[in-house]
Amino acid sequence: MAPDAGELVVFADDARLRQVLGNLMTNAITHTPGDASVRLRLRAESGSAVVEVADTGPGLTAEQAERVFERFYRADAARTRRAGGATGTGLGLAIVAALVAAHHGQVEVDSSPGEGATFRVRLPLAPESAEPIEES
């Protein structure tokens, strides 16, 4: 988290946010060569909590970046680091997009071939005066 970010509070389902972060990190690790890096960043920006998963891997073409959140879409299978070249179902990032939308947020990707990729999730910050919702 950025040193000056302070406490960032959003109203959200904890398990679903863990799933979002898990899917983004798994995607980055799976599609990033072993000699590249993956970073997780958190900051506040314009009334939103912003989570970024950034890698220094091969990046995405414009077409791949445009389609990466579609169900069953898989970019080039040659980009995977999984044993035997096995790839996933193409649902991980579609699930991320659906869960983020359900939390009134947005997800986006910035990428260029050879420049890595940054997946960015924006979730509305809880109003400071709001009381936390108690779970039953």
pLDDT digits (tens, 9 = 90+) for 107-117: 999 999 999 99
CATH superfamily ID and name for 14-124: Histidine kinase-like ATPase, C-terminal domain (3.30.565.10)
Pure H helices in the chain: 14-30, 62-67, 92-102
The model's pLDDT over 78-101, given as tens digits with 9 standing for 90+, comes to 444 444 554 566 788 999 999 999
| Domain coordinates in residue numbering, the chain | 14-124
Q: Over the chain, what is the mean pLDDT? A: 85
The pLDDT, as a whole number, for residue 53 is 97
- 15 vs 30: which has the higher pLDDT: 15
Q: Which of 34-38, 47-51, 90-94 has the lowest mean pLDDT?
A: 90-94
**94 in Cβ contact with 71 (< 8 Å):** yes
